[in-house]
C-alpha cells in the first residue's frame, strides 16, 4: 500500500499522537517497510553496533518539500507548486511556523523538517568565490516536512509511532502505519555492486602540490588550518539502500543517515554531531585529530595514546574549538558558551578520533535556524579562520563539495534540532557514486601522513563496497 505523497490532505489538524510499539533491535528492517515511499529517510544512531548512539528516526511521504537549486527554491505542498528566490532558511522558517508545541519527555522528534543542507548552501549568505563549476551537483537544500515518524530508543528498548497532526493523511492512515511499523521485514535479497573501480579524481602528485599551496598560505599568515579533501568516484549497480546496509555494518556511526531525495540518494556514516538544540541548550562536538586502528589490541592502544598526546592534533582540535566558541557566541546568551569536554578520544570501526564538546544557551530571541546560519558550515571541515579557509578550499579543490561537509538532520515543530556533519557520506545519482575524504592541514602537518589519513577514512567505504583499499588512489596509480 502506498502512503500519501507531498501536498495531500493539508486542510486538517489533530492533536499530537504518540503510540508505543514493540522494540525491534535492527531499525534497518523497519525501514524496509517504507523504503520505496516518497522521500524516505532514516536517521540512524548506529546502535546496537556503537555505544554513542541512542535514537533512530524513520519516516517518509512529507506533506511539503523545499528544494533549493541555483538561487531558487521549489516548494510543493497543499498550496500547490511555487518557486521563490528568497533566502532558503527563511522559507524553511515560514514552513515550520505554526503553533509551537512543547517537546515530549524523552522523545526527540514528533514531526518537523528533515533532510540535508549542502556545503554550498553557505554561498547564499557568505561571500565566496565561485571557481568550481556546479557540474551536476545535487540540490543545495532538500527538506521535507514530515507529520509522522517512528522513533526507536535503543537505551530504553522502546519504540513510538508519533505524529503532530499537521496532515489529514496521517489520521486517515494511522492504523495502517501502526500495523506497518509493527512488522519489520529483512529485505528481498536483491543485490548491488560497484561496476567501475572507485578512483580518486586527483593524482597523488597533485595532492602533494595542493598540500604545498596550503602550507604557503599558512606561512604567509592567510590562515591557520585548511580542511582539504579529495573526491572518489565509481559506478553502482543496484539499489543504494542495499549499499547503505553494507556501509552501516562496516562503519557504524552515531550520526548516520540514509535519504532518498530528489534525484539523489545520500548514504552517510558520519561520526560527528554538528548542532544539537533542545529546550534552549546547544551542543556541538567537533572532531579534529584522527589515526587508524589496528586489529592487534596492544598496537591499537598505542595508536590511541599517540593521538591523545599528539601536539599537532591537540593544537588542530583547539583551533576548531575556539572557532566554534565564536560561532556559538553569535547566537547564545553572553557568558554561557563553555567547553565541558576537551580532547576526548572516541574509537570507531576503522579510526580513532579526537572529539571535544562545546555548549551554550541559545538567546531568547534566536531559534534553530539562527543557530544553523551562525555556525554553517561546521568549522571542523573548513578551517580557521573559516571564511578564508573556505576561499582556499574553493581555489584548490577541483569540484564543489555538494552534500559532503554539509549537514543532515532534523528541526522539529517544537524547535528542537539535531544535525550531523556530512562526512563519510556517499551520494548516488543515476548510478554514479561519489564520496570525499579529507583532513585539516596545519603548519606542522606532514604531507604523506595527511594523504594516508584520507585513505584511512575511506577504508570503511572501500570495505562496504567490497573494494580493496588503494595504496596509491590517484588515476594511473600516481
CA-to-CA dists, residue 12 to 9, 80, 95, 99, 143, angstroms = 7, 16, 16, 14, 22
DSSP per residue, 335-388 = T--EEEEEEEEEE-SSEEEEEEEEEEEB-TT--HHHHHHHHPSPGGGTEESHHH
Strand pairing report for 425-429 and 432-441: antiparallel
Can you tell me which residue has the cell 579534529? 288
How far, in Å, CA of 450 to CA of 211, rounded? Answer: 9
How far, in Å, CA of 14 to CA of 387, rounded? Answer: 45
Residue 131: active-site member: no
Name the catalytic one among 140, 288, 359, 463.
288
Contact predicate 237/192, CB 8 Å: yes
Give the dihedral of Cα atoms 6, 9, 10, 14; nearest 10 deg.
-120
Name the catalytic one among 137, 140, 164, 272.
272
Sequence-distant (≥ 6) Cβ neighbours of residue 424 within 8 angstroms: 251, 253, 268, 269, 270, 271, 435, 437, 457, 460, 461
How far, in Å, CA of 208 to CA of 353, rounded? Answer: 24
How far, in Å, CA of 98 to CA of 415, rounded? Answer: 11
Residue length of the chain: 478
DSSP state of 142: E
Contact predicate 317/352, CB 8 Å: no
> Which H helix or E strand runs over 304?
helix 297-308
Residues taking part in catalysis: 272, 288
Amino acid at each position: 500500500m502506498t502512503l500519501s505523497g507531498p501536498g495531500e490532505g493539508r486542510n486538517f489538524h489533530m492533536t499530537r499522537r504518540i503510540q508505543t510499539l514493540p522494540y525491534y533491535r535492527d531499525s534497518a528492517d523497519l525501514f524496509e517497510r517504507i523504503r520505496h515511499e516518497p522521500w524516505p529517510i532514516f536517521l540512524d544512531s548506529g546502535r546496537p553496533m556503537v555505544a554513542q548512539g541512542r535514537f533512530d528516526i524513520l519516516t517518509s511521504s512529507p506533506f511539503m518539500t523545499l528544494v533549493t537549486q541555483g538561487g531558487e527554491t521549489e516548494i510543493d505542498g497543499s498550496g500547490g507548486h511555487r518557486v521563490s528566490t528568497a533566502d532558503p532558511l527563511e522559507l524553511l522558517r515560514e514552513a515550520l511556523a505554526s503553533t509551537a508545541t512543547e517537546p515530549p519527555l524523552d522523545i526527540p522528534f514528533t514531526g518537523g523538517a528533515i533532510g540535508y543542507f549542502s556545503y554550498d548552501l553557505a554561498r547564499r549568505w557568505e561571500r565566496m568565490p565561485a571557481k568550481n563549476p556546479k557540474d551536476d551537483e545535487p540540490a543545495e537544500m532538500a527538506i521535507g516536512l514530515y507529520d509522522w515518524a517512528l522513533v526507536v530508543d535503543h537505551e530504553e528498548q522502546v519504540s513510538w509511532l508519533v505524529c503532530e497532526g499537521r496532515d489529514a493523511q496521517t489520521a486517515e492512515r494511522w492504523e495502517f502505519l501502526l500495523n506497518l511499523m509493527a512488522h519489520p521485514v529483512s529485505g528481498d535479497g536483491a543485490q548491488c555492486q560497484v561496476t567501475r573501480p572507485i578512483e580518486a579524481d586527483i593524482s597523488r602528485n597533485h595532492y602533494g602540490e595542493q598540500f604545498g599551496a596550503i602550507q604557503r598560505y599558512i606561512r604567509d599568515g592567510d590562515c591557520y588550518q585548511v580542511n582539504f579533501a579529495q573526491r572518489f568516484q565509481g559506478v553502482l549497480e543496484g539499489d543504494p539502500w542495499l549499499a547503505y546496509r553494507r556501509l552501516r555494518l562496516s562503519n557504524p556511526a552515531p550520526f548516520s543517515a540514509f535519504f532518498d531525495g530528489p534525484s539523489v540518494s545520500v548514504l552517510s556514516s558520519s561520526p560527528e554531531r554538528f548542532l544539537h538544540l533542545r529546550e534552549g541548550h546547544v551542543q556541538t562536538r567537533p572532531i579534529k585529530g584522527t589515526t587508524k586502528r589496528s586489529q592487534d589490541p596492544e598496537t591499537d592502544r598505542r595508536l590511541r595514546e599517540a593521538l591523545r598526546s599528539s601536539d599537532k592534533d591537540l593544537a588542530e582540535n583547539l583551533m576548531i574549538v575556539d572557532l566554534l566558541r565564536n560561532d556559538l557566541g553569535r547566537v547564545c546568551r553572553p557568558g554561557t558558551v563553555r567547553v565541558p569536554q576537551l580532547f576526548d578520544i572516541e574509537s570507531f570501526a576503522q579510526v580513532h578520533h579526537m572529539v571535544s564538546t562545546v555548549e551554550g544557551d541559545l538567546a531568547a530571541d534566536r531559534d534553530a535556524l539562527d543557530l544553523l546560519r551562525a555556525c554553517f558550515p561546521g568549522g571542523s571541515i573548513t578551517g580557521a579562520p573559516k571564511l578564508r579557509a573556505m576561499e582556499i578550499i574553493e581555489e584548490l579543490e577541483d569540484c564543489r563539495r555538494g552534500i559532503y561537509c554539509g549537514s543532515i538532520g532534523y528541526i522539529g515543530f517544537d524547535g528542537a534540532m539535531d544535525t550531523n556533519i556530512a562526512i563519510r557520506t556517499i551520494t548516488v545519482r543515476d548510478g554514479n557514486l561519489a564520496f570525499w575524504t579529507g583532513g585539516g592541514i596545519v603548519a606542522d602537518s606532514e604531507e604523506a601522513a595527511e594523504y594516508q589519513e584520507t585513505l584511512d577514512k575511506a577504508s570503511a567505504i572501500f570495505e562496504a563496497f567490497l573494494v580493496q583499499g588503494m595504496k596509491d588512489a590517484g588515476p594511473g596509480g600516481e
